[in-house]
Amino acid sequence: MTDFTFQINNDVKWQYNNYFLDKAKNNKPVLQRAIVKPSRLVDIVADKTKFNGWSAQNDSRDLLKLDTYALGRNDSVILDFGNHHVGYFKVDLQHVGSPMDAPTYLHIKFAELPAELMGNSDEYDGWLSKSWIAEEYIHLDVVPTTLVLPRRYAFRYVQISVIDTSAKYKITLANPELTAVSAVLNKKVLKPLGLDDPVLQKIDDVSQKTLQDSMQDVYEDGPKRDHRLWLGDLRLQALANYATFDDRQLVKRSLYLFAGMPTTDGRLAANVFTEPEIVADDTFLFDYSLFFVSTLHDYYQHTRDVEVRNDLYDTAKKAIDVGLSFVNSAGVLSLDDRYPVFVEWSNTIDKTAAAQAILIYALKQFITLSEAQKLPVETYKNQLKQLIDAAKTYYFDAKEGLFVSGPERQINIASQVWMVLAGVLNSEQNYELMAKSKIKLFPITGIATPYMYHHVVEALFIAGHQTDAIQLIKDYWGGMIALGADTFWEAFDPNQPDFSPYGSVMVNSYSHAWSCTPSYLLRKYVMKLAV
Please identify, using beta-carbon distances, which residue of 153 and 299 lies nearer to its own copies.
153
Tally: H helices and E strands in the chain: 13, 14
Say which residues have a Cβ less than 8 Å from residue 403's Cβ, sequence separation at least 6.
353, 391, 395, 396, 397, 411, 415, 416, 419, 433
511 is a site residue for its own copies (CB under 8 A): no
Most distant CA atoms of the chain, gap in Å = 85
Q: Does 442 bind its own copies (CB under 8 A)?
A: no
Backbone angles phi, psi at 490, to 5 degrees: -65, -40
What is the smallest separation between the CB atom of 297 and its own copies, expressed in angstroms?
28
Question: Distance (Å, rounded) from C-alpha 111 to C-alpha 132?
Answer: 12
Using CB under 8 A as the criterion, what x/- string covers residues 228-247 for binding its own copies? Answer: x-------------------
Applying CB under 8 A, among 21, 63, 83, 105 the residue interacting with its own copies is 105
For residue 450, the minimal CB distance to its own copies (Å) is 22
Q: How far is the CB of 275 from its own copies (least distance, A)?
A: 7
Q: What is the rounded CA–CA span in Å between residue 219 and residue 281?
A: 15
Binding of residue 304 to its own copies (CB under 8 A): no
Cα torsion through 114, 120, 125, 129, rounded to 10: 60
- Of these, 51, 89, 155, 273, which contacts its own copies (CB under 8 A)? 273
Least distance to its own copies from the beta carbon of 476, Å? 29
The SS3 of residue 228 is coil
We find the least distance from the C-beta atom of residue 173 to its own copies, in angstroms, to be: 17
Pick one of 22, 62, 67, 101: the residue that binds its own copies (CB under 8 A). Answer: 101
Please state the φ and ψ torsions of residue 53, each to the nearest 5 degrees.
85, 20
| Identified binder of its own copies from the candidate list 198, 276, 407, 443, rule CB under 8 A | 276
* Smaller CB separation from its own copies, 7 or 445: 7
Residue type, 434: M
Binding mask 114-133 for its own copies (x = CB under 8 A): --------x----xxxxxx-
* Interior/surface letters 100-139, b for 16+ CB within 10 angstroms, e for the rest: beeebbbebbbbbbbbbbebeeeebeeebeeebbbbeeee
Tell the smallest beta-carbon distance from residue 391 to its own copies (Å): 35
- Comparing CB distances to its own copies, the nearer of 10 and 328 is 10
Residue closer to its own copies, measured from CB, 26 or 129? 129
Q: How far apart are CA 140 and CA 17, in angstroms?
A: 46
Q: How far is the CB of 132 from its own copies (least distance, A)?
A: 6
Binding flags for its own copies, 211-230, as an x/- string (CB under 8 A): --------------xx-x--
Answer yes or no: are the C-beta atoms of 470 and 525 closer than 8 Å.
Answer: no
Residue of 163, 332, 377, 529 interacting with its own copies (CB under 8 A):
163
Which of the stretches 92-100, 208-216, 354-362, 467-475 binds its own copies when contact is defined by CB under 8 A?
Answer: 92-100
Q: Of 169, 178, 176, whose CA–CA distance to 67 is shortest?
A: 176
Non-local CB neighbours of 51 within 8 Å, separated by 6+ positions: 113, 114, 115, 483, 484, 485, 497, 498, 505
| Number of residues lying near its own copies (CB under 8 A) | 44
Return the residue of 78, 79, 100, 160 that touches its own copies, per CB under 8 A.
Answer: 100
Q: What are phi and psi of 502, to 5 degrees?
A: -110, 0
Whether 151 contacts 179, CB under 8 Å: no
Are the beta carbons of 333 and 327 closer than 8 angstroms?
A: yes
CA distances from 319 to 1, 8, 259, 272 (A): 21, 21, 10, 16
Nearer to its own copies by C-beta: 5 or 244? 5
- Name the β-bridge partners of 14: 263
**Span interacting with its own copies, options 61-69, 95-103, 455-463, 489-497, rule CB under 8 A:** 95-103
Q: What angle do CA 517, 302, 308 make, to 5 degrees?
A: 115
Contact of 362 with 26, CB cutoff 8 Å: no
Q: What is the closest distance, in whole angstroms, from the C-beta atom of residue 374 to its own copies in the complex?
A: 39
For residues 101 and 397, which CB has a smaller minimum distance to its own copies in the complex?
Answer: 101
Q: Are 297 and 366 in contact (CB under 8 A)?
A: yes
CA 359 to chain CA centroid, nearest Å: 22
142 binds its own copies (CB under 8 A): yes
d(CA 318, CA 320): 5
In eight-state DSSP terms, residue 189 is P
Question: Which of 22/275 has CB closer to its own copies?
Answer: 275
- The answer to whether residue 210 forms part of the interface with its own copies (CB under 8 A) is no
- The residue from 97, 423, 446, 479 that contacts its own copies (CB under 8 A) is 97
- Which of the residues 27 through 46 are near its own copies (CB under 8 A)? none
Pick between residue 6 and residue 347 the one whose CB is nearest to its own copies.
6
Determine which residue in the list 22, 67, 265, 275 makes contact with its own copies, applying CB under 8 A.
Answer: 275
Task: Report the site for its own copies in 57-76 (rule: CB under 8 A).
Answer: 73
Residue 367 host element (H or E):
helix 352-372
Least gap, CB of 116 to its own copies (angstroms): 17
Is 21 a residue that touches its own copies (CB under 8 A)?
no
Binding site for its own copies (CB under 8 A): 6, 8-10, 73, 97-105, 122, 127-132, 136-137, 139, 141-143, 151, 163-168, 225-226, 228, 273, 275-276, 279-282
